[in-house]
Amino acid sequence: MVNRQTTTFLKKRMEEAGIRPVSKFGQNFLIDLNLVNMIADSANLTKQDVVVEVGTGTGSLTGLIAQKAGRVITVEIDQNLWQLAQEELASFENITFLQQDALRNKNNLSPVLLDTIRTEMAKIENARLKLVANLPYNVATPLISNLLTLDDIVPASMTVTIQKELAERIVARPGTKDFGALSLWIQAQCNPEIVRIMSPKVFWPRPKVDSAIIHIETDFNKRDRIPDLGYYHRFVRNLFIHRRKLLRGVLVSVFKNDLSKQQVDEVLESINLTGSVRAEQLAVPVIFELCERFREIQQQEK
């Protein structure tokens, strides 16, 4: 299976199984075998790694991952594909197959998935968690974002295919149209890079947009400098609810029930920010410092 995910093979195998791709599940199968290998290679897997894959599909990438990693947890929402992948990958003993949604809701991962990750990581000394997947487009943002909210099972890296537009938002620099809350959330903790841009023709069925392989390496030194991840996450999301508004106006609105306009102005003045700047113009360290000033002043007010 590892070396056979071509359009011809997929159509034949699905016809034999009496199934078709389901668009609502974001089923776009990567048919360029070099790119399937590129995803697995870019993850730099070892036997110390416990890998989560979301979107098993027919198991092509799963098999490559299982050859390199210690343990694999692969999640597939489609029962037909879940059964098909188990047949194709029956010879592997280090794969756990879950048939379910990886998300409980848009802000939380599935408890079953989290419990399975903890169980599998306990089997390997000094285990590292990694996400490696050809992600269905509809789960990409909440999955990547929510994995970074966890305390006890933080991924060492995430190597995934996602929409090109989303990848560009993740790596965006200040002052660009793509820079926003997601950029700030991920770049404050990780070092992301786009590995490869992919056209729709390397998938079957073809999606309507370009895709990208992105590798997101967690920088634990960066992450450890954030004393309250939940506060930081809420802060950066609030900054970009009205992204074209001036920073002062946004902050006055965000803290209207907790701080006075004078207090907001004092925080801005303390780090030499004028009222004419917008959040999208500020670098990640400046946003982080701003967040910390507001967190500290709110703690003092309690």
Is residue 97 domain-shared with residue 61, that is, in the same domain? yes
CA atoms within 13 A on the CB side of 71: 18
Range of the domain at 171: 7-224
- If asked whether residues 28 and 42 sit together in one domain, one would say yes
> What CATH number has the domain bearing residue 67?
3.40.50.150
Please report the DSSP string for 212-263 in residue order.
Answer: EEEEEEE-HHHHHT-S-HHHHHHHHHHHTTTTTS-HHHHHHHHTTTTS-HHH
pLDDT per position as a tens digit, 187-230:
999 999 999 999 999 999 999 999 999 999 999 999 999 999 99
Distance from C-alpha of 278 to C-alpha of 167, rounded to nearest angstrom: 23
Higher pLDDT, 7 or 73: 73
Among candidate residues 200, 224, 248, the one where a domain is terminated: 224
The answer to whether position 133 is within a domain reads yes
* Residue finishing a domain among 224, 240, 257: 224
Same domain, 219 and 236: no
Pair 38, 146 in one domain:
yes
The answer on 154 and 73 residing in a single domain is yes
pLDDT tens digits along 48-77: 999 999 999 989 999 999 999 999 999 999
Give residue 3's pLDDT band: very low, low, confident or very high (50, 70, 90): low
CB 201 within 8 A of CB 159: no
How sure is the predictor about 7, in pLDDT bands with cuts at 50, 70 and 90? confident
Pick the closest to residue 144 from 117, 175, 112, 166 (CA basis): 166
Shared domain for 205 and 277, answered yes or no, is: no
197 in the same domain as 254: no
Give the CATH number, domain containing residue 235: 1.10.8.100
Could you tell me if residue 2 is inside a domain? no
pLDDT at 143 over 70: yes
